[in-house]
C-alpha cells in the first residue's frame, strides 16, 4: 500500500510541485477508489451496530469537545 505524499506547506515547494505537474515532469498520485470508499462503508456499518443510547453518548462527547475549544 503506497501512501500519497502530502502537499508541501512551504509556498516555494508547493509552487515547484504545481509547475512540475503542469509540465509533466512529475505525475500526480491517485488514491485508489476502493480505499477511499472503505472508511465511508465502515462508518455506516458502525452506525447501524450502535444503539441509540451509544450514538447519543458519542455525539455528546463530540459536542463537548467542540465547545471546549477556546
Q: Residue ranges per domain, the chain?
A: 34-70
Q: Which pLDDT score, from 0 to 100, does residue 51 have?
A: 92
This prediction's pTM: 0.39
- 15 neighbors 22 (Cβ within 8 angstroms): no
Q: Are 30 and 20 in contact (CB under 8 A)?
A: no
**pLDDT reading at 57 higher than 70:** yes
Is there a contact between 29 and 4 (Cβ–Cβ < 8 Å)?
Answer: yes
- The model's pLDDT over 2-44, given as tens digits with 9 standing for 90+, comes to 566 677 889 998 898 889 888 888 777 665 655 666 666 777 8
The dihedral sign for the CA sequence 40, 43, 47, 49 = positive
Confidence at 61, pLDDT banded by 50, 70, 90 = very high
**Confidence grade of residue 59 (pLDDT, cut at 50, 70, 90):** very high
Amino acid at each position: 500500500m503506497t501512501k500519497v505524499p502530502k502537499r508541501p506547506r512551504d509556498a516555494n515547494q508547493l509552487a515547484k510541485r504545481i509547475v512540475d505537474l503542469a509540465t509533466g515532469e512529475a505525475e500526480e498520485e491517485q488514491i485508489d477508489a476502493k480505499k477511499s470508499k472503505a472508511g465511508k462503508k465502515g462508518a455506516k456499518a458502525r452506525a447501524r451496530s450502535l444503539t441509540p443510547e451509544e450514538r447519543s453518548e458519542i455525539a455528546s462527547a463530540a459536542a463537548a469537545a467542540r465547545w471546549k475549544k477556546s
